[in-house]
Structure 1
Amino acid sequence: MSETTSLYIIRHGKTMFNTIGRTQGWSDTPLTNEGEKVIQQLGIGLKDVPFKEAYSSDSGRAIQTAKIILREHRNGANIPYATDSRIREWCFGSLDGGYDGELWGVVPRILAFKNYDDMMNNRISYRDLADAIMKADTADWAEPYEKIRERVWNGFEDIAHRIEKNGGGNVMIVSHGLTISFLLSLIDSSYPMQINLENGSVTKLTYKNGTFKIEYVNNTTFIEEGKKQG
């Protein structure tokens, strides 16, 4: 009998750019010492979850996060692990690596809002966000909405389908804040834009016959459990 297919989707640990308020996107920085410590606690909290497979995006911060978690897992050495470029973060083009205030200063103005809070209170769509980022990007590197939607959906759906086809079970996936939030909106269009997921938080989805179900979002209880055990 097949098991339930469950995706434990984790936002990578806190990085240097996260700490100083710079936009990462496709640029990359390593986890800070504190970021590594929190992910180690997360790994301890997840050590008894029987993962069949593990994945991360191909960004260094996601790979580093996945390896720390697997190192702490009871069976980590035997869990197959691979990277998938489709589940990486959105690309912010010429705004990658700049301070968050630059990105979230210009994007609201492009969309005719006074500031970031005004924009978020008006519940813009992810399509609007992607279009505004493309307009703000002077290097012409940012991806159009349809390309982001296709790669993110196909990346997570392919992983879920593969696990289900092989009898179901749990899979660990390390991805990124905006990408995870965007995926939730593709599953449930009424889901609010939530781009401030905690580093190391777990968002759990189940998957059956081509349909995702959101079980919980931005869960930090595994970190708290790891602190107690550590």
Structure 2
Amino acid sequence: MNKPTTLYIIRHGKTMFNTIGRTQGWSDTPLTKEGEEVIHYLGLGLKEVDFKEAYSSDSGRAMQTARIILQEHQKGAAIPYGTDSRIREWCFGSLDGGYDGELWGVVPRILAFNNYEDMMTNRISYKELANAIIAADTANWAEPYEKIRERVWSGFEDMAHRREQNGGGNVMIVSHGLTISFLLSLIDTSLPMQIGLENGSVTKLTYENGQFTIDTVNDTQYIDNGRAISLER
């Protein structure tokens, strides 16, 4: 009998751009020293979870995060690990690499809101957000909503389905804040946009017969547990 299939979806560790308030998207910076430390704690907190396989996006910050976690895991060297470009962050086109204030300054105006807070209070849809990013992008690199939806859903669903077909169990996946939030909205349309997922937080999903169930969102207890383990050493 198959075990349940559970995805442990992790937002990558804190990066240089996260620290100075720049939009990353498909651009990339490495984890800071503090970011690495938190992910080491996360790895300690997850070290006894029986992961059957592990994945990350192909962005450097996600791969760096995955490697640190697997280094701390008691079976890390034996856990198959691969990358998948489908679970990358959204592409912000010409706004990639700019300060967050540029992205969250222009997008609300395009959507006829006074500011970011006004926009979030009115609970815009991810489709509206994607269309506004395309309108703001002067390089024509930003992705249409339909393309983001197809790649994000197929990426996570393929991983879950593959594990279910191979006996179930736990899968570790390192992805990105907006991508994880967007995936949750595809599972439960009543959820608000959750752009503020913490670096290193764990969002747990159960997958059975083609259906996802959301167990926990933005859980930082594994970091706390790992910090406690570190202090005991």
**Counterpart in 1 of 2:124?**
124
Give CA deviations for 1:55-108 in whole Å, capped at 9, x if unaligned: 000000000000000000000000000000000000000000000000000000
Is the partner of 1:90 in helix, strand or coil?
coil
Structure 1 segments (4+ residues) deviating >4 Å: none
Q: Following superposition of structure 1 onto structure 2, how do residues 130-141 of structure 1 map, counting pairs within 5 Å?
A: 130-141=130-141
The corresponding residue for 2:96 is: 96
Distance in 2, Cα, partners of 1:89 & 1:24: 8
Q: What do the CA deviations read for 1:102-147 (whole angstroms, capped 9, x no partner)?
A: 0000000000000000000000000000000000000000000000
Partner of 1:193: 193
- Output aligned runs, 1:211-222, within 5 Å: 211-222=211-222
Residue of structure 2 in register with 1:19 after alignment:
19
Give 3-state SS (helix, strand or coil) of 2:36's partner: helix
2:106 maps to 106
Deviation at 1:177, TM superposition (A): 0.1
Matched, 1:176 2:176: yes
Residue matched to 2:51: 51
Residue number in structure 1 paired with 2:30: 30
| Secondary structure of 2:222's aligned partner | helix
| Mapped partners of 2:193, 2:103: distance in 1 | 16
Please state whether the residue corresponding to 1:10 is helix, strand or coil. Answer: strand
| Distance in structure 2 (CA, Å) of the matches to 1:135 and 1:22 | 20
Task: Report the AA paired with residue 33 of structure 2.
Answer: N
SS of equivalent to 1:227: helix
Distance in 2 (CA, whole Å) between partners of 1:163 and 1:192 is: 29
Q: Match of 2:205?
A: 205
Give unpaired runs (5+ residues) of structure 2: none
Normalising by structure 2, report the TM-score. Answer: 0.99
Aligned residue pair count: 230
The one-character-per-residue Cα deviations of 1:145-195 (angstroms, maximum 9, x if unpaired) are: 000000000000000000000010000000000000000000000011001
Letter in structure 2 aligned against 1:84: D
Amino acid at match of 1:48: E
**2:163: which partner in 1?**
163
Partner of 2:5: 5
Instruction: Quote the RMSD (CA, aligned, Å).
Output: 0.2
AA in 2 matched with 1:11 = R
Aligned to 2:225: 225
1: CA distance, partners of 2:91 / 2:217: 23
Counterpart amino acid of 1:73? H
Letter in 2 for 1:217: V
Q: What's the TM-score, normalizing by structure 1?
A: 1.00
- Matches of 1:195 and 1:5, distance apart in 2: 26
